[in-house]
Structure 1
C-alpha cells in the first residue's frame, strides 16, 4: 500500500509541474502576442502616416499622374486627373489608359511597353480626353518597379502644354527684365567711365583755355590802344601829341608783348586741339578704329585724369619708355587703364602709404603693362570672382561691379590677357598684355 501511495504522489507532483510549464508557455505566448500586437499597431500607424503623406503629395500636384500596370490598366490617379475627367479616383481604377489618353499617330500601349529601366521616354506629346474636351499634355514616362526589381507597370506624369507655354512666357519675360537690368547697369558703368573722362578733359582744358582767355583780354586792350593811336594818326595829330600818346599808353611795351601773346595763345590753342583729338580717339567705338597706337600716351593720360579727380595724393612712379606701340582700339584700352588705375586708387584709400608703379615693356610680340599698388591686396575669397559681372568689394552705391568685367571683355576682344594677383611684396599687381602692331587681331 505504501508503494502505491508514493507512486500516486509522484504522479501528482509531475502533473503539477507540467501544469506550471503550460501556464508559463501560455504567459510567454500571450506576451509575444501582446508584443506583436503593439508592433502591428505601430506599423499600421506608420503605414497610415505614409499613406496620408503620399495622398497629400498626390493631391498637391498640379501635374497629371497616372499609374498603370503592364497591360495598360489604371492602378492609381491623382486629384489633377480626376478634375480633368470629372470622375473620382475609384471609378477610374481598372480603366484602360488608352480610353483616357491617346498619342497622335502612334498606338499608346506599345509605346508604354517600350518603357523600361534603361529606356525612358521623356516629353511625349499626348492628348487627354477630359470631360470638357481634349487637353494636350507633355508626358514623362518611367517604369514602375516592384521589390524584386521587376517592372510591374508604368508611371505617367504630364503637364498641360498651355501651362508650359505660360511658364516659358513668364521665364522669357523674367529673362528680358534681367537683360534690361543688366544693360542699365552696364550703361551706368559706361556713364561713370564717361564721367571720369569728362572730368579729366575739363581739368585738362581748363589750363590752356584760361591761358588763351587771359591772353585774349590783354590783346583786346592792346587792340583798343592801337586803334586809338591810329585814329589820332589819321586825324593829323602832331608828332609831339603822338609821342605823348604813345608814351602814356605804353604802346612800345604792348608792341613787344604782341609776339609772346600770340605765341602763347597759339600754344594754348594747339594744346586744346591735342586734347580734343585725344577725346575723339578715345570716344570712338568703330571696329575700324583699331590700329597701332602709343600705349605710353594712353597710360599717362589715363593716370593723369584719375589723379586730377582723386581726393588724396598718390606717389606715382612711371617706368615707361618714351614710346611703345600696341595694336587695338586706343579708346577702349584707355577705358581699361582708367578702370585699373581707379581700382588701384580705391584700394589705397585707407592705406598709410599710397604708391603706384606704372610700367610698360615689349613682351612676346606685344606689350606688357603692369600696375602695382601699395594697397591691402586681394583676399583669397575675392580672387576667383574679380572679373565676374556685378561682383564688387565696395560699399553699396559705390560701385556696380562691372568695371573689371567690362575691361576683361575688352581685352579678350583684343586677343590680349588681363590678370590681377597679389604681389609678393604686398599690394596688388595688375598685368595687361596686348598684341603689338602687325599682329593678326582677327
Structure 2
C-alpha cells in the first residue's frame, strides 16, 4: 500500500470515540499501517489456534467421558455415587438391572430407598453420617430389593468423595451381590467334598493293595504251622480213639492174652512213643503262629498315630519277608542287617513305605525279566548307613531304570508306569508323604550300573532299651 493510496482515508473509530468524518489520515505513514495489519494477522492466527485447541480439548473431554461411561457400563459390581445427603448422583447399568429401574429414575433418589429393610438403611445412613471416615472407606453389609422384590445381600464398599479443595462432598458405594458368590462357594464346597471322598476311596484302595500283599505273605507264612498243627491234631484224635478202645477192654476185665493182642493190634506202644513228638510239634506250630501274629501286631499300628522308636533293621527284614512270601517268591534280595539303628516314628507306616519300595523294585525287575531284556532273576540290593544324625537306606534293583521324563513326576499322585489294573499310582505318593511326616526324605534316580535307585533318609533317635524297642 503506497502513500497515494492512503490519501483521503479517514481515521478509524477508536473505542469510545466516534470517527471524525472527512479527517485526513495523510499523516499516518505506511509502516504504521503495516504494523496494524501484522498485529491483526497475529490476533486472527491466535484466535484460530485457540479454536483448534479448544476443539481438541472438547474431543479429549468427550473421549474421556465416553471411556468413563463405558467403564461404568462394563462393571459387574453395582455402583452408586451419592452426594452428602445420600442422594444418588450417578449409577451404572448393573445397579439399574438389579433393582429394575432406569438411571433417570434412580438419579436424585435416596440410596436408602433401595434397601430391603430398615436395618440396611440404617447402616447406610451411619456411613453417610460418619464425618471422620478414612479415604480407604469402609465395608457395610446390606440387603437390596431386586426387580422381583426379593432380598439380595450385597457387600458395599463405601468410599468418601472429595472436591478440588479437599472437602468431602459425598460417598461412592461399590458392591457385589453375594448370591452368586454364595452359589459358587456352595458348588466349590460340594466339589471339595466330592474330591475328599474320592481321595479317601483311592487311599483306601492303595491301603487295600498293600494289605493284599501283606495278607498273601501272611497266608503263606501261616500255612505251614497251621497245616502241621492240623495234621498233629488229626493224629492225636486217632490216637485218642485207640486209647479209649484199649482202656475200655481193660476196664471190662479182658484176659491178659486178649489185652496183649489188642495192644499189638492198636499199636499202643508205638502210639505212646509218638505222643511226645506230636505234642512237641503241635506246641511248636502254635508258638510259630503266635510269633507271626505278634509280629503283625507290632507292625500294624496303622491309623493310630503311635510314635515310638522303630528298629529299621527289623522293619526291612519284615518288608522283605512279606513281599517274598506274598507276591514275589522268586526275588533275590541282598541285605545284611547292620548295627542297631532306630528312628522315631510309626512302625506300621514305615513298614508300608518299605514294602512299597521292595514291591516296586520287584515289579520293575520282573518286567525286564519277562521281556527278555534283563537278567534271569529279579534282584534287589539294600544298603544301610546309620552314622550321624540320619539313617540312610539305599534300594537298587536290576530293572530298566526310570525314564528321564518320569523322574519329575514319580511322586505325583495317580502317576504310574504300570499297566492298567496293576497299580493305583498312589504308592510312591503316599510313601513320600509318610516320609515327610517323619521328618525325612525320599529320593529317586538311576544307578550308574543300571536300574532304579531309591534313597530313604530318616532322622535317627537313641537306641531304646530292649523293653521299649519296637
Instruction: Settle same-fold status: TM greater than 0.5.
Output: yes
- Residue 275 of structure 2 corresponds to residue 240 of structure 1: no
Look up the SS of the partner of 1:106 in the other structure.
helix
Look up the SS of the partner of 1:385 in the other structure.
coil
Any conservation in 2 of the 1:319–1:357 contact (CA below 8 Å)?
A: no
Any conservation in 2 of the 1:327–1:439 contact (CA below 8 Å)?
A: no
Q: 1:253 to 1:113 in 2, by over 3 A?
A: closer
CA distance in 2, matches of 1:241, 1:325: 69
2:395 equivalent in structure 1: 371
2:36 equivalent in structure 1: none
- Residue 218 of structure 2 corresponds to residue 201 of structure 1: yes
Within a 5 Å distance, the mapping from 1:322-337 to structure 2 comes to: 324-337=341-354
1:26 equivalent in structure 2: none
1:107 equivalent in structure 2: 128
Look up the SS of the partner of 1:393 in the other structure.
coil
2:165 equivalent in structure 1: none
Any conservation in 2 of the 1:284–1:331 contact (CA below 8 Å)?
A: yes
The farther-off stretch of 345-354 and 386-395 is 386-395
- Residue 98 of structure 2 corresponds to residue 84 of structure 1: yes
- Residue 282 of structure 2 corresponds to residue 261 of structure 1: no
2:383 equivalent in structure 1: 359
2:205 equivalent in structure 1: 188
Any conservation in 1 of the 2:394–2:455 contact (CA below 8 Å)?
A: yes
Q: 1:234 to 1:85 in 2, by over 3 A?
A: closer
TM-score (norm 1): 0.69
CA distance in 2, matches of 1:111, 1:162: 32
2:440 equivalent in structure 1: 416
Within a 5 Å distance, the mapping from 1:12-411 to structure 2 comes to: 63-64=76-77, 66=79, 77-78=92-93, 80-88=94-102, 91=104, 103=124, 105-107=126-128, 114=135, 125=141, 132=149, 135-138=152-155, 158-285=175-302, 289-310=306-327, 313-321=330-338, 324-352=341-369, 353=375, 354-411=378-435
2:58 equivalent in structure 1: none
Q: How big is the alpha-carbon RMSD for the aligned residues of Structure 1 and Structure 2?
A: 4.1
Q: 1:74 to 1:182 in 2, by over 3 A?
A: farther
Q: 1:155 to 1:311 in 2, by over 3 A?
A: farther
Which one has the largest radius of gyration?
2
Any conservation in 2 of the 1:66–1:74 contact (CA below 8 Å)?
A: no
Any conservation in 1 of the 2:414–2:424 contact (CA below 8 Å)?
A: yes
CA distance in 1, matches of 2:335, 2:241: 48
CA distance in 1, matches of 2:447, 2:157: 55
CA distance in 2, matches of 1:181, 1:417: 27
**Please, which runs of 5 or more residues in structure 1 have no aligned partner?**
1-46, 143-153
Any conservation in 2 of the 1:365–1:435 contact (CA below 8 Å)?
A: yes
Superposition deviation, residue 164 in structure 1: 2.1
Any conservation in 1 of the 2:332–2:380 contact (CA below 8 Å)?
A: yes
Superposition deviation, residue 237 in structure 1: 3.2
- Residue 454 of structure 2 corresponds to residue 430 of structure 1: yes
CA distance in 2, matches of 1:397, 1:140: 55
Look up the SS of the partner of 2:381 in the other structure.
strand
Deviations 1:277-313 (A, max 9, x none): 1122222247674333433232222222222332673
Superposition deviation, residue 110 in structure 1: 9.4
Superposition deviation, residue 270 in structure 1: 0.7
Any conservation in 1 of the 2:309–2:463 contact (CA below 8 Å)?
A: no
Look up the SS of the partner of 1:283 in the other structure.
coil
The farther-off stretch of 241-250 and 276-285 is 241-250
Superposition deviation, residue 374 in structure 1: 1.7
1:40 equivalent in structure 2: none
Deviations 1:394-433 (A, max 9, x none): 3444333322222223223333332222222222222223
CA distance in 2, matches of 1:74, 1:104: 16
CA distance in 1, matches of 2:214, 2:246: 48
CA distance in 2, matches of 1:108, 1:424: 77
Any conservation in 1 of the 2:216–2:327 contact (CA below 8 Å)?
A: no
Q: 1:157 to 1:382 in 2, by over 3 A?
A: farther
